[in-house]
Every structure is written in structure tokens, then in C-alpha cells.
Amino acid sequence: MGRICSFPPHKLVVCTLLSQEDLLSPVRNVLENKFGPIDYQSSLIPFDFTNYYEKEMGKDLNRCFFSLQTLVDPSTLAQIKIETNRIEESFGVDGNRRVNLDPGLLALSRFVLATTKESGHRIPLRDGIWGELTLLYMKKDFQPLPWTYPDYATRAYRDILLTIRALYREQLKHLDR
């Protein structure tokens, strides 16, 4: 029988979809106030993989990845998603979001996104929040799975997550000291 122990801390990544570039700095400030210092911010990446968000958020959306310096207990992912939903609402106008925040947890072996949408490949966490194994780290790269969103399967997104993984790996080395 295996011994029960606490989870190692994970790297919080907030994948941000924006309808207006001028929202980037205010969103970053709110994320830092809520979750601590940001140690990585990607450039803006045009989001043209789906028109799912178009009616609510408009066209010409951009994605930006933020990673947080403070590592988190992975059992808190559902609460983090609840908080990011509140942040989304705070930036909304007339009941429509201008910002979509998808928190995820990066471990050395995987990247897991939180979602409010149920599906067969998602695991219930709590309070209507599900966890999705989005990418698996194997053969020195993040590997997409059959259900991985097309944008997360791209080389650009996976390279960003590899950069964040390298930051996380260094943090873990300092934790062991």
C-alpha cells in the first residue's frame, strides 16, 4: 500500500483571452493582487481557432499566458477557477465578458486546465468545476491528447508552456534546499 502524502506544489498559469489590448495591464494587476507576483508573461497571440467567443467578446481576440511565481497546492484549482470567474465578471460590460481567464496547473508531467464544462474526459473537482488533463509531458515536450483544444496543441502554445515549465523546474530545485 502506498503512503499518503501531500501533493507537491504546482505552477499556476492563467491563460487569458482579451477583447481589447488595453485590458492586459489591468488584468495583470488584478491577477497579481489575487495570486501574487507574475514571473512570466507571453506576448499577445491572435486567437483565431474558433468563433465560440465572438458573440460575447467580439472579434480579433488575443491570448496571453501569465504564470505566477507563488506555487500552489493543486487541490485549490477549483477555488482558483471560482476566483478567476469573479475577475472575469468584474471586467464585464452589460453582462458580457471582455476577458476570459482559464487557470491551469503545470506540473513537470502535465498541464491541467480548470473548466465549468463537463465532458467524459474531465474529472469533477468541486462546486461545478472540472479538471482537464490538457497536455501530457513526454519525450521532452508537451503532447496533445485527442481532446486537447486545437490552440493548446499548437507549437506556439506548447513552447510557452515549456518555457514556464523550465521556470517551475528551477523553483522546485530551490524548494529542495
Dump pLDDT digits (tens) for 49-104.
888 899 999 999 999 999 999 999 999 999 999 999 999 999 999 989 999 999 99
Residue 176: the pLDDT is 65
The DSSP-derived string for 80-135 is HHHHHHHHHHHT-BTTB-SEEEEEEEEETTEEEEEES---TTEEEEETTEEEEEEE
What mean pLDDT comes out for the span 119-129? Answer: 95
Residue 14: the pLDDT is 98
What mean pLDDT comes out for the span 107-134? Answer: 96
Say whether pLDDT at 42 is over 60: yes
Rg (CA), the chain: 16
Residue 87: the pLDDT is 98
Residue 50: the pLDDT is 87
What mean pLDDT comes out for the span 109-126? Answer: 96
Q: Read off the amino acid at residue 124.
A: P
37 bridge partner residues: none
* Grid coordinates belonging to 53: 467567443
Residue for grid cell 467580439 = 58
pLDDT band at 177 (very low <50, low <70, confident <90, very high): low
